[in-house]
Structure 1
């Protein structure tokens, strides 16, 4: 046991002396859990293009619910005429909405969406997104560019499948 401890101590000292970082380790072991946490970006796991649930501002709530169902992410983005993100509507918002006196057939998505949702820019680590989601107690996030146009979306199941959680 003492020899194992001494060997580990020497290995750590050598790694520190050479400036070996966790990122270097991730590059050497990209398939491991540490490698995934240090290399996987939100861009790698997000649903984009045709797989991204998006409706325009003013869309009837019933149509927005159909878009959520078709894309299977448990959320949909709501965009303004210029393509920027106006809000988000999730399965959780739907459940909370049912407690209120809102007619699903007559309401528009604007009446029930969450304006100014939490978003993340591309290039951020998926592990960072997980931390934000756990802190804010949310199940999904939109990935938006610097002009706040939606590029993609992901949820907790996507992080689980990618091995980030």
Structure 2
């Protein structure tokens, strides 16, 4: 199953200057829980935004740079090739950035979204979730607290196709 996982603001904001624009520890925990042990597909800029590769995950990096290499990672030049190198019988997570989400939304079987209830200045956005193609199957609200500056909720969508 191909699963796109993202945290997005009220206007589908993902980030600015190749960085997240909020800090939500419970979102990080959920991301880690869901993606650990799986293949994760990302664009080069998303990969380079990490201080180091994420532990216990197989990184598949999409880039148009011809001789790009990253230690212990799989590097390909298209989403189609990224999907092809992943196991067919396992969950595979698409983790960004904006262009990779745009390319993958039509391939995805499921969306794991953290909706942040605030608007942010951003330069990267998640594609619009078309409710004629996606069904919301679970939603879990979290109020802001001392560790979370914003209200947010975890949402799971499945493809209607």
Q: For this structure pair, what is the TM-score category when the shorter chain's length is used for normalisation?
A: under 0.3
TM-score (norm 2): 0.24
Higher alpha-carbon Rg = 1
TM-score (norm 1): 0.23
Higher strand share: 2
Higher helix share: 1
